[in-house]
Amino acid sequence: MKKLILFVSLSFVFNFGAFAQVEKTETLVVDDNQEAELAYNKGITSFQKKDYKKAITGFTSAIENKKSFYQAYYNRGRAKSEMKDYKGALGDFNKAIELKKDYAKAYFGRGIAKIYAKDTTKTAVLDFSQAAVLGEKNPKLFYYRGIAKFLNKNYHGALSDFSQTIKLDTLNAFAYNERGSTKRQLKSYKAAISDYLMALKLDPKMLVAYVNMGSAKKMMKDYDGAVADYNTAIKLKHDYYIAYNNRGSVKFEQEKYDEAEKDFNKVISLEPKYAFAYNNLGMVYMKQNKYDKALTNFNKAIELNADFAKAFANRGSTKEMLLDFEGACSDWKKAVELGIENPKEFLEGCK
């Protein structure tokens, strides 16, 4: 058996030959066969220092030394989550649960990872509920379950979870923003705005809350109010392309096509692969009767996202204006195939 003796720094003292004061703690030596625990604890230290990469190394070494070390799997899952490797995290939480069926924390952690890993959001809610049943007391459980419900379009459920979060943590700016967005999805725009305002009161630099508030105003057709909010967001973050894209859309609704064009071009300069902006810019050119330029932009949008239904619909309408009826019909057909309803009626005139 490999012997692991940790002399802290004694031998140095000796080699220098000076009889330095020997600290009592320095005479403690780790017992044999604790490699797993030691690596695990080291991992925790690194995690607390937010050095997640090192933390993962520690937990991995712990697991190598002790295959049944479920806490190490859990912690490694957490570290991977913090590093946004949600798929990897899911694997670890799965393993932890396999090793310990009633492991509440692992269900909770897995729920969070499922939220962020693509395609797995659906079952996240189940994990949070299972964690709660098993006695998980983390107050954030409601917050994350609210997010999971929101993402699953269960807005009424999300609303009550976010309200519960706020009840437990009245200063949670994020929870106010999320609840505002939930209300927005439920079309209660005014109530949404008051939540966004609360979020901003708690965190005046919360960009998303400004943009969300602007968009709620946009939906209430308060275009000037919306623009003002987007402006604030842009002031706080000059390269916040989502705010530019939204502002451009409002300008478009206001039929201020030149200004909209500027905003969408700005988005593209900031985020050259943002297909939405090309689609919107194409629409501006449609309104300006610049059909060739519109076509170029819709082409670009589709090049960036081959499943971009709305861009197909819009490109079809552009081709119609260019009297390319076959092209128009095939684009509209594609848009319908990709799941949007609008172009169905356009297809009436197609063969």
Partner 1 sequence: MNSVKFIIAISFLTFIFTFSVAQERVYIKKKEFFTTDEGFKEAWKNIKKGNFLFYQHRPASYKDAIPFYKDAIAYNTENAELNLILAICYLRSDPKAEALKYIQKAIDQKEDVHEKANFFLARALHHNLEFAKAIVEYDAYKETLNGKKLKEQSPIIDKYISECESGKILKKKTARIIINNLGPQINSAFDDYGAVLSSDGLRLVFTSRRGEKGDRINPMDDKYFEDIYTSDFVDSGWKEAENIGKPVNTDWNDAAVDFLDEKNMLIFYRGRERGGDLYTTLYKKGKWKNINSISNKVNSKKSKESAISFNADGTTMYFVSNMDDDSFGGKDIYYCILDDKGKKWSKPINIGDDINSEFDEESVFISPDEKTIYFSSKGHNTMGGYDIFISEYKYDSWTTPVNLGLPINTADDDLFMTILPNARDAYFSAIRKEGFGSFDIYHATILGPEKPLLLTNEDELLAGIATPIEESFIEESMKISYTRMTIVKGSVTDFNTGTPLASTIELVDNATGKLIKKTTSNKNTGSYLISLPSGKDYGFSANTDGYMFHSENFVVPEAQDYKEIFKDIKLQPITPGSKIILHNTFFETAKSTLRTESFSELNRLAKMFEKSPNLVIEISGHTDSRGSRSANQRLSVARAKSVVDYLKAQGVKAANLKAVGYNFKFPVASNKTKEGRQKNRRVEAKVLSN
- Residue 276 makes CB contacts below 8 A (sequence gap 6+) with 245, 267, 301
Q: Which of 57, 154, 164, 185: binder of partner 1 (CB under 8 A)?
A: 185
For the segment 208-267, give every residue that binds partner 1 (CB under 8 A). Answer: 208-209, 211-212, 215, 242, 245-246, 248-249, 252-253
Kindly indicate which of the ranges 87-95, 126-134, 147-155, 220-228 contains the residues binding partner 1, using the contact rule CB under 8 A.
Answer: 147-155
State the Rg of the chain over Cα: 28
Cβ atoms of 236 and 205 closer than 8 Å? yes
Determine how many CB atoms are found less than 10 A away from the CB of residue 46.
19
Six token digits for residue 160: 């009550």
Q: In angstroms, what is the minimal distance from the CB of 129 to partner 1? A: 19
Does 177 contact partner 1 by CB under 8 A?
yes
Within its chain, how far is the Cα of 309 from the centroid? 23
Q: In angstroms, what is the minimal distance from the CB of 58 to partner 1? A: 11
For the segment 73-92, give every residue that binds partner 1 (CB under 8 A). Answer: 74-75, 78-79, 81-82, 84
Cβ closer to partner 1: 12 or 235?
12
For the segment 12-51, give every residue that binds partner 1 (CB under 8 A). Answer: 13-15, 17, 19, 22, 24, 26-31, 34, 37-38, 40-41, 44, 47-48, 50
Six token digits for residue 171: 């200063």
- Which residue from 227, 226, 229 is spatially nearest to 200, judged by alpha carbons? 229
Q: In angstroms, what is the minimal distance from the CB of 90 to partner 1? A: 15
Six token digits for residue 63: 């697991």
Six token digits for residue 331: 């684009």
Kindly indicate which of the ranges 87-95, 126-134, 142-150, 220-228 contains the residues binding partner 1, using the contact rule CB under 8 A.
Answer: 142-150
Cα atoms in the Cβ-side hemisphere of radius 13 Å centred on 9:
9
Q: Letter for the amino acid at 139?
A: P
* Number of amino acids touching partner 1 (CB under 8 A): 89
**In which residue are the tokens 């000059």 written?**
238
For the segment 89-128, give every residue that binds partner 1 (CB under 8 A). Answer: 105, 112, 115-116
- Residue 60 makes CB contacts below 8 A (sequence gap 6+) with 76
Does 297 contact partner 1 by CB under 8 A?
no
Q: In angstroms, what is the minimal distance from the CB of 91 to partner 1? A: 17
For the segment 328-347, give every residue that binds partner 1 (CB under 8 A). Answer: 340, 342-343, 346
